[in-house]
A and B are shown apart, each in its own frame.
Chain A
Amino acid sequence: MYVFIVFVIVLAAYFAAYYLYGKRVLEQKVVKADPNRLTPAVEKFDGIDYVPANKYVLYGHHFASIAGAGPIIGPATAMVWGWGLPLLWVLFGNVFIGAVHDYLSMMASVRHGGVSIMSVSENVMGRKARYIFLAYVWFALVLVLAAFNSVASSVFVGTPTAATLSLIYMPLALIFGLLVYRAGLRVSYATVITLILIVLAAAYSLSYPTYLTYEAWVVILTIYSFIAAALPVWYLLQPRDYLNAYLLWAFVGIAVVTSVLTLDLALQGPIMTKFAVSGAVIGALPGTTPAKMDIAYFWPVIPLVIACGALSGFHSVVASGTTSKQLANELDALFVGFGAMLAEGAVASLAVILPIAVAWNFAGLETATGFPVLNALTKAGINTTAIKEIIKLPAADRFTNGYGLAAATAFSRVLGPSPFIDLFLGFKTFAAWALSAFVLTTLDTANRLARFAWKEMFDWLEKRNRPAYKALTNRWIASAIPPLLAFVMAYPKVEVIVPETGAKLTVYAYSILWASFSGTNQLLAALALLTAALWVYFVLGIRGRIAWLILVPALFLWLTVTSALVLWLVFIMPYLPLLYQLGAGTIIIISLILDFMLIGLFISAFRRK
């Protein structure tokens, strides 16, 4: 198989999906988007959360918010199945589930005054479903905050120049916001000015690291996520995410150019290794029985491994949370919601899966290209005598090395072989930057979303005791609770013992719960898509083949994720340390109970109506 064939399939799939399915079916026949209908951003404008945004600025926010580490780490991990199956899942999941899920969540929210998809569920599944859903999401967001706070702190300790860049970058984004919204400068001029400043800041940061301990960074990032989530969206969130999107575009752009320059190159990796791989891929600890057994069946466990690149429940919360409150025109929604999700699929397929497949066998790539691949890897600290294939590296390293090698190969074909090693090291660092740049974005977006969910969760109090409701949902108070809880989970370390091997592990407290996150997140995706499907069916009155086109993938996803979680409970959980069983295990059990309750409400809604 050649790069050319995969590249053409991916591009054709995304173009067809956008114009034939997104535009002609979803926008024109299902939602019937109307540019004259006022959006909540305009109708409920408050200058803080409800603020209409330029289509491209909003696209940047949405894209940067939904693209955390997920579209990169997930597909890189899934390469244990070979490149064919993950690619197939990314394309199928992206087009028929992920993009539809994101777009419909956004539009359902827009048509219901900007409330979250969890609150939209009240209209189709009843009040009970709404509050279950909101509590579920709020807790998941606190967990995201804890994990991302910890990840960002670790990144800053490990790469102190990234800390300097992040600290300089934020005020630059703020300057962009002030230039556009206060000084009235055109977006294009402000973009050029700020991008130049960011490039200078990046070059400057490389020479001046900022050193602090992990614990100090956790404290600082807790305060940061509190302030950033309470500030008006136009002030930091919109400009910062918009500028972040340029980094991601550069990252995808290099991947596309790489593919074009290496169209004739054969993929070194296998299209499929086997259908079932080690349980380690879904959280079994090293040395335990499930880690030694091939129990991770591609179906149903794949959504637990690949999230954002194909589909993710977190996206529905962003789409119906921050994004729907900033949409200036209904016609922008397809580009922002559907388009950003396809772009994320392009990240997964062209910037992660394809480069890793190209660079799979290091010696093979060297023979095929004639470039000093082994020398370059040795210079990057990889022992190529012991590690002959990219799959032997941890997931994040598979991505950075695969991206670096593929891009260096492509550009060396134009520039000649001599700069190959420098190009490899440069692209590898760039890939690592791109990976870390999105962590901070997710941190404060998650807190803002938690604030929205919190406010909707207590709306029943408004009529009964207005002062209490106002105090409880106060912007500053609601923004302080989630990061404080996350801090409690990200700061301390705990020691756990693996029962089967007796090995002692020291982990951050949130890790005890984090194992459940991929499951609860994807369950949320299934429930959000079912809600959106019901909204299309009952509220928009869409029937026939189009309705089935949305309902069938929703039910398929629900079945897949539910089966995967049952498999995890049966095969993985019994071998985890006791604290993990009490933490992640309990959450998965509670999630499954809620899952069955909600599917029951879904079926009864269908029967009732």
Chain B
Amino acid sequence: MAELKSLLGAAMTILGVLLFIYTFFYVATTKGAVGVKGQVTADPIIGTVGFLLILAGPALWFGEVPVNIKKLVEAKTGRKV
């Protein structure tokens, strides 16, 4: 289960980064803007989907508890987290 979660997180992160770079660096620099004023177009939607995937992906990929905080808590409380 943990492995599957991590795999899904990795896929989400990689896809998110690709969509994000495509929109905010490729589309933005070639077209001068992302999207068209007053309209809903594909480019900004792709970019924001990438943004949301980047937000959620790494948390699943790397797991939720950072090791160094875990160590600090274990040292302070004397119990295994």
A interface list, Cβ under 8 A from B: 38, 42-43, 45, 47-48, 51-52, 160, 164, 167-168, 170-171, 174, 178, 181-182, 184, 207-213, 216, 220, 223-224, 227-228, 231-232, 234-236
Contacts and interface: CB of A to CB of B under 8 A. Distances in A.
Nearest to A166: B51
Contacts of B76: 38, 42
Interface centre among B33, B38, B68 (most CB of A within 10 A): B33
B36 A47 contact: no
Contact of A171 (B20, B33, B68, B73): B20
Given A47-B70, A170-B54, A211-B41, 12 more contacts: A42-B76, A47-B81, A171-B20, A210-B47, A211-B38, A211-B39, A212-B35, A227-B55, A227-B56, A232-B64, A232-B65, A235-B64
A171 B58 CA distance: 11
Contact of A224 (B52, B70, B73, B77): B52
Given A47-B66, A182-B62, A234-B66, A52 B34 contact: no
B40 interface: yes
Contact of A232 (B28, B32, B59, B68): B59
B44 A211 contact: yes
Nearest to A217: B48
B54 A171 contact: yes
B50 to A, nearest CB: 9
Q: Main SS of the interface on chain B?
A: helix
A94 B73 CA distance: 35
A443 B16 CA distance: 22
B72 interface: yes
A227 B52 contact: yes
A483 to B, nearest CB: 13
Given A45-B73, A167-B24, A212 B58 contact: no
A75 B36 CA distance: 37
Q: Which 3 A-B pairs have the closest CB atoms?
A: A47-B65, A211-B35, A181-B66
B44 A210 contact: yes
Contacts of A228: 55
Contacts of B55: 170-171, 174, 224, 227-228, 231, 236
Given A47-B64, A51-B69, A174-B58, A208 B28 contact: yes
B51 A38 contact: no
Interface string B4-37: 0000000000000000100010001100111111
**Chain B interface bracket (under 10, 10 to 19, 20 to 34, 35 or more):** 35 or more
B81 A167 contact: no
A211 B44 CA distance: 7
A210 B77 CA distance: 48
Nearest to B70: A47
Nearest to B40: A216
Contact of A164 (B34, B36, B41, B52): B34
A160 B58 CA distance: 27
Given A170-B51, A213-B39, A228-B55, A208 B62 contact: no
Contacts, number: 108
Contacts of A178: 58, 62
B77 A42 contact: yes
Contacts of B32: 207-208
A45 B81 CA distance: 8
Contact of A208 (B33, B37, B56): B33
Nearest to B57: A174
Contacts of A234: 66, 69
Interface centre among B45, B56, B66, B76 (most CB of A within 10 A): B66
A180 B11 CA distance: 23
Nearest to A161: B33
Contacts of A216: 40, 44-45
A38 B56 CA distance: 31
Nearest to A213: B40
B13 to A, nearest CB: 10
Contact of B73 (A52, A160, A207): A52
Nearest to B17: A171
A184 B64 CA distance: 15
Contacts of A213: 38-40
14 contacts: A43-B77, A52-B73, A160-B37, A170-B55, A181-B66, A208-B33, A209-B34, A216-B45, A224-B55, A227-B55, A232-B65, A235-B58, A235-B59, A236-B55
Interface centre among B40, B44, B47, B65 (most CB of A within 10 A): B44
B22 to A, nearest CB: 13
B10 to A, nearest CB: 14
B55 to A, nearest CB: 5
A227 B51 CA distance: 11
A213 B48 CA distance: 13
A231 B56 contact: yes
Contacts of A52: 69, 72-73
Contact of B68 (A160, A181, A212): A181
A216 B35 CA distance: 12
A211 B72 contact: no
Nearest to B16: A171
Nearest to A48: B64
A200 B29 CA distance: 15
Interface centre among A170, A178, A235 (most CB of B within 10 A): A235
Contacts of A182: 62, 66-67
Nearest to A235: B59
A174 B36 CA distance: 28
Contacts of A232: 59, 64-65
Contacts of B28: 164, 208
A216 B29 CA distance: 23
A210 B33 contact: yes
A38 B66 CA distance: 20
Given A42-B77, A216-B40, A224-B55, A211 B69 contact: no
